[in-house]
A and B are shown apart, each in its own frame.
Chain A
Amino acid sequence: MRAIWQLQWWQSRNRLRKLLRSPGWLIFYAVMGVGFVTLVVYSARTSISHPPAAGATMGRLPFTLPVAISLWAVVATLMAVQQGTKRPPVTFELGDVNLLLPTPLPPRLVFAAQFLRRLLGHLLQALPSLVWVGYLLIRVSYRIPLGGLVGLFLSFFLIQVWADAVESVVWMALYRQQPERAAARAGWVRNAVLVITIVALAWALTPLLPSVENPAAPRLTALSERLDTIAAIPPFGWFGELVPATPGPVSSGSGGLAASRPAAALALVGLIVAASGLAVFLANEYYEPALAQTEVQRQVLAAARGQSGTAATTTMDTQGTALAILGGRATDRLASIQVQPFGQGAWAIAWEQLLRYLRFERATIVYALAFVALFGGVLGAIVRGAGLPPAWAWSIPLLLSLLNLSTGYLGEEFRRPEIYLIPDPTIVRLLAASLVSWWDTSSTGSLMLWLAALVASAGTPTFGSVMAGTLAAWVLLLTLTWLTLGAGLLSMILVPPWLPGMTRVLLSFLILLPALIPSLAVCLIVAWQLGSIPAGFLAAALPTALLAAILFAVAARFFDRLEVTD
């Protein structure tokens, strides 16, 4: 046991020493520390001057804080079960494989040590979450007394530990069996999670559907009641009870459950200890599946990113026949998609990217689409249920498209020789290398936009006009994606590789924000003059496309300055 603790201590200490030399990390935690102290001072003053506002809703949202915490626990649990079917709860470093696993230390002890290490990590991670959420709650006029702050911290921490324990139990129970049987049962569990999620969502959102008996005003109340019902299911309800402002009828202001809080905390701790103990008990034969799954994930990711060369130096002993075969089976599944070669010169880059994109996305497409569709559907349902104008369903996907500053496949292309060697004009090489990244980001935004608009307006008299407006918003979205890609590309070329990655992100924003001013101005002027937001969107697409072209031209001009680190 002492060997493992000593190992953890040395690693943590040396990691901390390295981090202390990283200014970004220091600044982040300094800001978080100041935020935490400010929050504590604010909470202490609130405790003295105001009693906690029991049952206070969070701004205009149709639920209370305890319900939000409980719903988060529900989501975290479902995600943990789903993750437990495919991702090992233990992560072995390459050093572990060579040095730790062959030792006489029992596998259960190795797992328990990893679990405890993650528990400490959750304690640290709960601090930034507390600061962000605390600040947001204060912004929506939610009072947080000191006791509430402690409860909030406990809820963040215990939800993470609970999810960790659930994931560990699921994975250990599944993969202690032979691989074929484990894979089959993992599929059943994933399907069960999917069905439970769909049924729960459908049941919760049904009140938002319009009907004669269900006029617009009480719809949110009905939704709120259903969310309360889900949140009250034990043990999820116990997480909500950690927060002093306990739910009761919003109008009465009489929470009255503060006395049960320690009992809820104790019950949760007991439950988590029991689940963790079960995971440790099950952890006797897990080295092989843990190593194999980690290796497969790395190989699939490396294959999708075209980094097979670098994968050989970073993977977990790829020489092992076992791992190579398992990885091979995963990549065989990916390889079944074929696309006929198209284009010559630089356009061949677009073909190979498309091939990699389709093969990679096939492995993740169900979950990626489900997530985007869920987000779009919920957005549309909220717009419809709350009676908001359709501009909400258009604007949010447009704003989200601006946040995606990742250069994706385009950035990866710069680590390969072809983009430098193909004898085509630079602008052609950059455009060809950007096509798939553009499609990747714009297609998810498009799905979200169209689905939100469809859910918001289907069956209503304004359906036709909303769809026409969505078309205009979609054209703007396609050009905005090009613009963000151009900003990311230019920042990548201008920022030297030895500067931290955050510098590139900041520069991307600094390029993007002024580039948006003409589009925003045109959009506002046209929308105001014609009295039509879609007309504004359509007009704004033109300057957006023009500025995207300018960014690409400037990037091509400075392409020779690009330095690549790896």
Chain B
Amino acid sequence: MNTPQAASESPQVDASPLLDVRHLSKRFGDVVAVNDLSFTVAASQIVAMLGPNGAGKTTSLKCIVGLLRPQAGQITLAGQPARTPQARAALGWVPEVPYAYELLTIWEHMQFVALAYRLPDGWQERAAALLRQFDLWEKRSSLASGLSKGMRQKLVICLALLHQPRLFLFDEPLVGLDPPAQRELREIILQLRQAGAGVLISTHMLESAERLCDQALVMHKGRQVAAGSLAELREQFHLPTNTPLEDVFFEAIR
């Protein structure tokens, strides 16, 4: 397993959050998609972003990635403003729709990421290991246009892991993966946390979120309606200690 650069960083990284979102607001015309959202993701922490369709999860992720321009708020990645090259270099993104370049082979995708992130020599071994881990090595010379949806999902995950970012954003990462790949990805996410990376996962799969995450952030109609560890959320909504995340979620968005 490849470990993120955070693993070898000094402990000061842990002092400040890897992702710091403050008072983020994004609207489209009269529609407010995200309203005054604030949260953090620390090193060695997995945060689940939960919410029904249209809650503003993907909009928030796209603001963090830099695809959307927020109307208000600050986003800091690894201590840098989100739009700077240094901040982007610290970020790995796995989008929900796993589109890649149709006319590039799997290996050319890996080469592209290595060039774009200016990776030093040695990335080839890491790339090969990742492709083997996700059963893509045998297909490394195939064009992406010939891959199934699940394989594309695996490819996009490999690409996000290759440059060893310190913060990962996953948007519905388990959708479209076969059961072995789902298990593989869950293990990788846990290993990333162990290696010191921060992980933010937007998902509807509450069972997986409950198993993986340290913190949950529940959004509804663009607003943050609850945040904290599962125990804190249960306490916030006066629920018994063994209440599953699913029940907490429905309580939060009620």
Contact = CB atoms under 8 A, between A and B. Distances in A.
Interface in B53-106: 54, 56-59, 62, 65-69, 85-86, 88-89, 91, 93, 95-105
Contact of B29 (A2, A6, A179): A179
- Counting contact residues on chain B (CB < 8 A from A), the size range is 35 or more
A14 B117 CA distance: 23
B112 interface: yes
A6 B111 CA distance: 9
B29 A291 contact: no
Nearest to A328: B31
Contact of A101 (B66, B98, B144): B66
B115 to A, nearest CB: 4
A3 B116 contact: yes
A180 B29 contact: yes
Interface string A299-329: 0000000000000000001111110111001
Interface string A95-133: 111111111111000000000000000000000000000
B159 interface: yes
Contacts of B66: 101-102, 287
B101 A11 contact: yes
Contact of A329 (B29, B91, B112): B29
Contact of B28 (A93, A317, A322): A322
Nearest to A290: B67
Nearest to B96: A319
B124 to A, nearest CB: 15
A18 B115 CA distance: 25
A102 B88 contact: yes
Given A99-B159, A104-B88, A3 B112 contact: yes
Interface string B24-53: 001011010100000000000000000000
B67 A291 contact: yes
A7 interface: yes
Contact of B67 (A2, A97, A326, A329): A97
B99 A97 contact: yes
Interface in A324-342: 324-326, 329
B69 A288 contact: yes
B252 interface: no
Contacts of B143: 14
A95 B59 contact: no
A93 B58 CA distance: 19
B89 A94 contact: no
A321 B103 contact: no
Contact of B116 (A94, A104, A321, A324): A104
Contacts of B171: 319
A195 B110 CA distance: 51
Interface in A63-107: 93-106
The binding surface of chain A is classed by DSSP as: helix
Contacts of B86: 104
Contacts of B93: 98, 102
Nearest to A17: B103
A230 B155 CA distance: 56
A430 B206 CA distance: 49
A95 B97 CA distance: 10
A14 B104 contact: yes
Contact of A320 (B58, B102, B172): B58
Contacts of A318: 97
Nearest to A92: B67
Contacts of B85: 104-106
B58 A321 contact: yes
Contacts of A322: 26, 28, 33, 58-59, 62, 68
Contact of A95 (B26, B58, B100, B105): B100
Given A97-B95, A329-B29, A105 B103 contact: no
Given A291-B67, A326-B28, A98 B98 contact: yes
Contacts of B111: 6
B108 interface: yes
B113 interface: yes
A322 B33 CA distance: 7
A99 B58 contact: no
Interface string A162-205: 00000000000000000110000000000000000000000000
A15 interface: yes
B109 interface: yes
A480 to B, nearest CB: 41
B113 A99 contact: yes
Contacts of B33: 321-322, 325
Contacts of A288: 67-69
Given A104-B89, A321-B57, 4 more contacts: A3-B116, A18-B103, A95-B100, A98-B100
14 contacts: A3-B115, A11-B101, A11-B104, A14-B103, A18-B103, A93-B99, A95-B99, A95-B104, A98-B100, A98-B156, A319-B97, A321-B56, A324-B54, A325-B29
Interface of B: 26, 28-29, 31, 33, 54, 56-59, 62, 65-69, 85-86, 88-89, 91, 93, 95-105, 108-109, 111-113, 115-117, 143-144, 156, 159, 171-172
Interface of A: 2-3, 6-7, 10-11, 14-15, 18, 93-106, 179-180, 285, 287-288, 291, 317-322, 324-326, 329
